[in-house]
């Protein structure tokens, strides 16, 4: 990634932190004011130093945001010991719903079965949307033959019907059947992506695979029940660094990671544009924020109400997260919420914290 692009990305993130993507230039001042008002609703000036422990786990995508908020918060509240882990959204909810963590980071909404597990254990929570991220479809910079993939292409390459395909060209017939005009290279296909414990895995399936899979089931081409699955013969990893290493090390590789993490890799990997039916779109803060990039998703933190009632430190930390610390979302490379959505999160938190 060029220095110019890095500079443009940072500028875009900072702009999106105070201006709703739905606003025109003439509305910028009003949007900025609304954002500051939303943040101010949770601002609590500490009159005394807080102490205690806060245990946070979950999404590796959200982990850098929460980690940065922790660093900023501990700059003024050194008496609060905060641990932040990133085993994945699914694994995070497992321990959260056992009452073992105070906050669960998530790169997707909580599933029905996870919410039921929490309910069964007496764990009530408040869901707070904190920003946006996109999933970047990536390959090696050496793979110049592939610059854009449709969601039909992604299904043909990674979906449940592609199992056993060892080359890009092997998926050509299926992609063509699905209406794609893309031409795949006759080259080895090495796929590395997040494992099932990751919210990025779930989000990728939901956005890139399930829409086509549902149509295939209806057409009698795919067994019912496989709408939310991908091929099993790929290289799964819960470590984004491993994914990047594999992508970088194979000339005709394919994979996907969170956009912010992909941007950090510079020229190690190359992002592929995605066409969701309206043309090829590059993942950028602007296209992720306004939803034109087909693989955009929301990011969340879930706060235990039981732990909240027991811990002034937890209350103070989340106050800070949505107020003074909120600029961390853009600072670490993600897309902040538009003002109106930040206001909704602030209102939900205000109700929960009492």
Q: Which residues of the chain have pLDDT under 70?
A: 1-47
Rounded Cα–Cα distance for residues 36 and 25 (Å): 18
Looking at residue 11, its pLDDT comes to 40
Structure tokens, 250: 């194979």
Looking at residue 44, its pLDDT comes to 46
Model confidence, pTM:
0.77
Rounded Cα–Cα distance for residues 330 and 286 (Å): 12
Cβ partners under 8 Å of residue 141, min gap 6: 267, 268, 269, 270
CA nearest neighbour of 269 among 281, 261, 280: 261
Cβ atoms within 10 Å, residue 220 = 8
Q: Are 34 and 17 in contact (CB under 8 A)?
A: no
Give tens-digit pLDDT for 128-167: 999 999 999 999 999 999 999 999 999 999 999 999 999 9
Burial of 215 (0-12, 13-18, 19+ CB in 10 A): middle
Best CATH choice for the domain 3-132+299-353 from the list 2.60.40.10, 3.40.190.10, 3.40.640.10, 1.10.150.530: 3.40.190.10
Fold annotation for 134-296 = D-Maltodextrin-Binding Protein; domain 2 (3.40.190)
Q: Is the dihedral of CA 228, 171, 152, 190 positive or negative?
A: positive
Locate CATH 3.40.190.10 in the chain. 3-132+299-353, 134-296
């Amino acid at each position: 990634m060029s220095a110019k692009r890095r500079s443009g990305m940072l500028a875009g993130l900072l702009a999106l932190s105070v201006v709703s993507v739905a606003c025109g230039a003439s509305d910028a001042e009003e949007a900025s004011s609304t954002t500051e008002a939303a943040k101010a609703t949770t601002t609590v000036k500490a009159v005394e130093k807080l102490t205690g422990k806060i245990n946070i786990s979950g999404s590796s995508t959200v982990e850098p945001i929460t980690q940065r908020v922790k660093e900023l918060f501990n700059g003024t509240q050194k008496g609060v010991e905060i641990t932040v882990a990133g085993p994945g959204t699914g694994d995070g909810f497992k321990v959260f719903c056992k009452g073992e963590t105070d906050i669960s980071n998530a790169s997707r909404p909580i599933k029905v079965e996870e919410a039921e597990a929490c309910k069964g254990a007496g764990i009530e929570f408040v869901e707070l949307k904190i920003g946006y991220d996109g999933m970047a479809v990536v390959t090696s910079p050496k793979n110049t033959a592939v610059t854009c993939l449709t969601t039909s292409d992604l299904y043909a390459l990674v979906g449940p019907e592609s199992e056993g395909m060892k080359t890009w060209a092997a998926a050509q017939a299926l992609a063509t059947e699905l209406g794609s005009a893309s031409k795949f290279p006759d080259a080895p296909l090495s796929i590395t992506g997040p494992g099932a414990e990751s919210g990025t895995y779930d989000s990728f399936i939901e956005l890139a695979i399930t829409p086509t899979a549902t149509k295939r089931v209806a057409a009698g081409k795919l067994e019912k029940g496989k709408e939310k699955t991908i091929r099993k013969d790929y290289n799964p990893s819960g470590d984004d660094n491993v994914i990047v290493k594999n992508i970088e090390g194979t000339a005709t590789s394919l994979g996907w990671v969170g956009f912010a993490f992909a941007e950090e890799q510079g020229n190690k990997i190359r992002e592929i544009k995605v066409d969701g039916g309206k043309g090829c779109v590059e993942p950028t803060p602007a296209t992720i924020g306004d939803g034109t990039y087909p693989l955009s998703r929301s990011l969340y933190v879930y706060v235990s109400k039981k732990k909240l009632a027991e811990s002034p430190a937890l209350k103070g930390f989340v106050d800070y997260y949505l107020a003074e610390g909120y600029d961390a979302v853009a600072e670490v490379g993600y897309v902040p919420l538009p003002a109106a959505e930040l206001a909704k999160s602030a209102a939900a938190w205000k109700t929960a914290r009492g």
